[in-house]
Amino acid sequence: MPQISRRESREQVLGLLFETEFQPQKTPEEIYRLAVDDREIAADAYIPEVYFGVLEKKAEIDARISKYSKGWSVDRIAPVTRNILRLSIFEMMTRQDIPVRVSINEAIELAKKYDDEKAKAFVNGILNSVKDELGNRE
């Protein structure tokens, strides 16, 4: 299978996270396996690492989203927006190989492509607050 870009890998993780919310009867392992079999998810180590990592740290990530979403419970945030935030915050928390500004920029690009026009500013605001809290590297 050809090598794919990190952006394409992020899009695949976003799809898996989104699908997981709408198929509670399936385990994440089943969803991932079916995606690999049916949609030919790329053989990129980033994809399962980030997908399962986000799910593992979901409570901690969602607590950060809640903290900065000013009056919005995580459940009220649109599913696409919520999962874009989860993906980016997971990268910011765990991936030393990805500069924080890259995670934020990529999240904004995902929001532009898959979400409502207003989502960009919302995503940017929350992620910049998380960045400041984490005191992360550039």
Per residue in 5-62, pLDDT (tens digit) is 888 999 999 999 999 999 999 999 999 998 888 877 777 889 999 999 999 999 999 9
Amino acid letter, residue 107: A
Pairwise CA distance, residues 128 & 109, whole Å: 15
Extended strands (E) in 3-135: none
CATH number of the domain enclosing 124: 1.10.940.10
1 is a domain residue: no
Total-model pTM: 0.92
What is the count of structural domains for the chain? 1
Pairwise CA distance, residues 73 & 33, whole Å: 31
Enclosing domain of residue 79? 6-134
57 is a domain residue: yes
Pairwise CA distance, residues 33 & 38, whole Å: 8
94 is a domain residue: yes
